[in-house]
Amino acid sequence: MMAGMPKFIRTLRILAASALLVGMVAIVPGSATAQPTHRDRAESGGLDRAALHRGLAAIPAAGAPGALAAVRSGPAGWQGAAGIAELSNARPMRPHMRHRIGSITKTFVATTLLQLVQEGRIGLDDPVGRWLPELVPGEIGQRVTVRMLLNHTSGIGNYTDALLTSLTAVIELQTARFTPTELAAIGLAMPRTGEPGERFSYSNTNYILAGLLIERVTGTDVVTEVDRRILRPLRLADTYFPGAEARIRGPHAGAYFAALGVRDFGTYDMSWAWAAGELVSTMEDLNTFFRALLGGRLLSARTLEQMLTTVPMDPQVPQAGRYGLGIYSLDLPCGTFWGHDGGVIGQLTLSLHSRDGVRQVSTGVNMSHYQIPVPGEAHPIDAAWVGFAGTALCPASAMTTARTAMLPTLPAITALSSVTAPTSTASATPLR
């Protein structure tokens, strides 16, 4: 749940729009996997499993400790992992490991709130102040609507920019406890990023307020509502809000914050993220969720259409994508895909899906904030990860090869611009 515009996904968008998705993983050092035959691809539902293995292996080869993924093409599925899950004992990464998914939590929360909208219990264009007058009073409370929270056009400041101001703060946040109202108050006290409804400006505060709206409307906590409306009906047994549990339940990887070396942040109090980014999940659970969502199992056709109505994330950069209500669209060489990305201290996730749910990829890495800006180049990990996503989603006919030297100047993914690094060469990035 990095602050500001989602930097990783903006990198992916620009690379995709520049048709540079796959050449980055054409050569993987040490890869001896044979190319699959036409018969192999047919029997695997069109999935090029050898290429997926190579593509995923390229991510740790580029410098990440480990990576994991789940890919689907129609009824065919593939899960894979590469590299190291835990540096202290060289434990290997496994496909079914649970992972902190950061801002992908927003899609779950938006879906829950939209169910309340279609039940007639709250309106998308209701002023937030009607429901939370004590927290969002006055003019802002009357001008900011529920819709503006969900599509990040409220103009309300992003509270994580105030929380994560130094590497010391990153360490202190590991054991800090916050209430949702405390987080909302921090964001509401920050300078506004624009007039209500004026433009997209990513803010985690919007989804803290969305979580509080769910609780005000239902009289129950947001964890209970997401569980009974989404997790249990879809049998997402590996997806949960950790609450006061700092350690991830069950099999999971470490979480490495590159600016602090090999220190493992896998145990981390996530109360600072709550409805904006607290969820733990698996890559397979994410694919199941988005397939159900885009397939109309969770929302009516009319409500889903509202969810998929978008605003530009950056009008000056059309390829940066468009944001709906807790979900965004991204144009790749082989079509438009929907999903979200997420990042917390030490773990990053990307989940993208065709509108019909036929092609899906969810993938994560167990390191964050590794970028050292180099003019004209993407970080090798970013290039490998983007290449894997392209391999998973786009058929060979839509792919074009390109040298990494041809990459345009791009912002670092999840660039920690608001966190002071200890040395001039360490990465500096904010959370979203």
Is 18 catalytic? The answer is no
Minimal CA–CA distance to 357: which of 302, 309, 289?
A: 289
- Token pair for 5: 């515009």
For 274, which DSSP code? G
Question: Exactly one of 31, 73, 88, 103 is catalytic; which is it?
Answer: 103
Q: Could you tell me the two tokens for 387?
A: 């290449």
d(Cα 359, Cα 73) in Å, to the nearest integer? Answer: 5
- What's the gap between Cα 352 and its chain centre? 10
How would you class 70 by CB atoms within 10 Å of its CB: exposed for 0-12, middle for 13-18, buried for 19 or more?
A: buried
Q: Which residues of 170-206 are buried (b: 16+ CB within 10 A; e: fewer)?
A: beebbeeebebeebbebbbebeebeebeeebbbbbbb
CA distance 248 to 270: 10
Give, as one character, the DSSP assignment of residue 318: G
**Token code pair at residue 219:** 């009289």
Helix, strand and coil percent figures for the chain, each rounded to 5: 35, 15, 45
The radius of gyration of the chain from alpha carbons, rounded to an integer in Å, stands at 20
Q: How many whole angstroms from its chain centre is CA 98? A: 15
Q: How far is it, in rounded angstroms, from Cα 306 to Cα 124?
A: 9
Q: Which residues are catalytic?
A: 103
